[in-house]
Amino acid sequence: MNLDNMSVVTETADVYCLDTGMFDVDSYGSVYIIDREPALVVDTGTGQNIDRVYEALSQLGVERDDEIAVLLTHVHLDHAGGAGRLLQQYPGACVYVHEQGYEHLVTPETLVAGTKAAVGDQWRYYTPPISIDPARLRVLPVGESVQIGESTIEVIAAPGHAPHQLMFYDVATDILFTGDAFGIYTPSQDRIRETTPPAQFDLERNLTDVRRIETIEPTRVCFGHFGSTTFVHTQAESYRRQLIEWVEAVRQQRAAQADDEAVIQHFVSTIDSPYRWTAERDRAEARINTKGVLGYLDWKQSPNWDNSTVQPGEENSMSDT
């Protein structure tokens, strides 16, 4: 079988990783397809290049009127932007999401506004999402297992990157789909880099999420960006340290620079080489990750800061990536 832009996930027989070509970059955006009854699709990409998802499903023998379960790790548009389009093409498909993400799929305007504010000129790589009929949405039970046909999926909260983010543990394969909880993996460099976008990145929660991954101890982790790797504890320890050091670096630059834009420019202009993707993509990543940490630092300094509470506006403030 010739699988364009798609490869089977190592150590599995029925889990496929599709490269969506997100942001016109190879090896950045993953969509996973679990080839069972029904087919499971983990995340959908931005909606640009959604044809790649249709072609992948077709190559795996999924027909247009078959049942499909779309599981969204979170509703940031680089993960959920294509969901409405996919539902239009597949009348038997429905979407599973955290209850805090549900309303954003029905009424995506806030999500679009938040994303535009966060990503700036990168918006040209997105496609406006299509509203989803509530009749085709299912709320996932956080902390529990769901049985979807042949698949048993454990639904695990991972609120550090976004309060409504979930990870999915596939019992049959011992694989964990981490969304953006475990950073961004670049297979060619075998490196994990931070992903800390506005408006709701929370360091302490993200560190807890990584510890949760260590507790689960899956055979393999499947990243939202990009691909999969064997899980090893040193990688988790290293990502926790990396998050702490990254937040500290932004804090120090804020103390040294004139204003927040200067802090952002500092990190945009001092990207380590070689580039991970393209110069444009790398700079966009540096910009959004710095903005996310600056927002987190503001929140942490506010008199209302408390580890146990949520950031203000959390229910209606959405961004990326």
The Cα–Cα gap between 266 and 244 comes to: 19
CB of 179 or CB of 218, closer to Zn ion: 179
Residue with tokens 């639904």: 155
Applying the rule CB under 5 A, the residues between 151 and 180 that interact with Zn ion are 180
Burial class of 212 by CB neighbour count within 10 A (0 to 12, 13 to 18, 19+): middle
Residue 70's SS3 state is strand
- x/- map, 30-69, Zn ion, by CB under 5 A: ----------------------------------------
202 forms part of the interface with Zn ion (CB under 5 A):
no
CB of 44 or CB of 59, closer to Zn ion: 44
Q: Least distance to Zn ion from the beta carbon of 223, Å?
A: 9
Q: Nearest to residue 200, comparing CAs of 151, 238, 255, 161?
A: 161
Q: Nearest to residue 66, comparing CAs of 94, 44, 47?
A: 94
Q: Least distance to Zn ion from the beta carbon of 78, Å?
A: 4
* Inter-axis angle of helices 260-269 and 279-301, nearest 10: 140
Q: Taking contact as CB under 5 A, which single stretch among the options 2-10, 125-133, 216-224, 234-242 is the one that binds Zn ion? A: 216-224
Q: Least distance to Zn ion from the beta carbon of 37, Å?
A: 29
321 forms part of the interface with Zn ion (CB under 5 A):
yes
Q: What is the DSSP letter of 37?
A: S
Burial class of 154 by CB neighbour count within 10 A (0 to 12, 13 to 18, 19+): middle
- x/- map, 245-284, Zn ion, by CB under 5 A: ----------------------------------------
Token pair belonging to 140: 């996932």
78 forms part of the interface with Zn ion (CB under 5 A):
yes
Token pair belonging to 277: 């993707």
Q: Least distance to Zn ion from the beta carbon of 6, Å?
A: 19
CB of 62 or CB of 192, closer to Zn ion: 192
CB of 59 or CB of 125, closer to Zn ion: 125
285 forms part of the interface with Zn ion (CB under 5 A):
no
- For residues 281-305, one letter each, b for 16 or more C-beta atoms within 10 angstroms of the residue's C-beta and e for the rest, the string is bbbbbbbbbbbbbbbbbebbeeeee
CB of 78 or CB of 170, closer to Zn ion: 78
Token pair belonging to 71: 């599981």
Q: Taking contact as CB under 5 A, which single stretch among the options 207-215, 221-229, 237-245, 293-301 is the one that binds Zn ion? A: 221-229
Radius of gyration of the chain (CA): 18
122 forms part of the interface with Zn ion (CB under 5 A):
no
Residue number of the CB closest to Zn ion reads 321
Residues at the contact surface with Zn ion, assessed by CB under 5 A: 78, 180, 224, 321
